[in-house]
Amino acid sequence: MLSDEQRRRLEKERDSLQNEWDIRNDRLMRIRKTLAIETDPSTQFKYEQQIQNEDDELKRLTDRLDEIEKQLQSAPSILAISEPKSIQQKILILTAIPHGLRLDREIREIEEAIRRATNRNLFEIRIRTAVRPQDIRRAIAEEQPQIVHFCGHGLEGGSLLLEDDGGNNKPVTPEGLASLFKLHVDYVNCVLLNACHSEKTAIAISQYINYAIGMNQPIEDKAAITFAQGFYDGLGFENSGNKDLFQRAFDEGIVAIQMENLSQGLIPVLKKTFK
């Protein structure tokens, strides 16, 4: 178990490393764009060397960030600050096949949004990483969450990429995921698929789950993380009257993208179905 001081030190180091990772990643993207239009061989070679150096540094930072996240996540920590009986919403986060995505950052943004929330005592987060199809089945059955959040890769045909037993890509079709959630309609209220091309899966899942959110085209990492941050900010706000909680959270996610001046505010889509 981590002491408060140990947790603070790790979180401070994590935030510093994440800031460095963001700066280097932006620099790497600029170098790649410059290389793409460069015609002089000697200059191309210089840019290629810079790219290799940045790749090496990003790998080093990623390894350390992953190590810190494992330490923070393995320490007993329930985000709700009241007694367990007061917890009403369990959020199950499923992450698969990073391939360069900063999924640990997305998880941190969700946790921070819940910590800041007015109703933070009503939420609990559970995280499962490197999920295979059988891991998802078991995790949902064991945790019985009200909200399921998937972050990872999606394919153009609508399938989500999971992993097989060997750690290789394992596409799962919209129909397959819909049949899974059909078994959990008693407690799952919302499914958020924060992955490219996931609208088809959201439509399929919405046959059985009241709220399903997907992406209608590829979405950049920054926009996906910003949407998740806004969504969980909205979910934790004080809800007056009979406002639609998940619609309110979805709208907050869209506004978060728009206020960051990102041109991807029309990519997240919400499918609502009430039986």
pLDDT in tens, 105-119: 667 777 776 666 666
- pLDDT of amino acid 86: 40
- pLDDT of amino acid 262: 66
- pLDDT of amino acid 77: 45
Note the pLDDT tens digit of each residue in 166-177. 878 889 999 999
- pLDDT of amino acid 83: 37
Contact between 269 and 214 under an 8 Å Cβ cutoff? The reply is yes
- pLDDT of amino acid 120: 66
* Backbone φ/ψ region at 193: left (φ over 0), alpha (ψ -120 to 50), beta: beta
Phi first, then psi, for residue 2 (nearest 5°) are -85, 140
Q: What does the pLDDT profile of the chain (275 residues) look like in tens digits?
A: 667 788 788 888 888 887 887 788 778 878 988 888 888 999 999 999 998 898 888 788 878 877 887 787 665 544 443 333 344 688 898 887 655 555 666 677 777 766 666 666 777 888 887 678 999 999 999 999 999 999 888 998 899 988 888 878 889 999 999 999 999 999 999 999 988 999 999 999 999 999 999 999 988 888 888 888 889 888 877 665 556 889 999 999 999 998 886 677 789 999 998 65
- Short-list 103, 163, 157, CA closest to 136: 163
Give just the sign of the alpha carbon dihedral 31, 56, 101, 260: negative
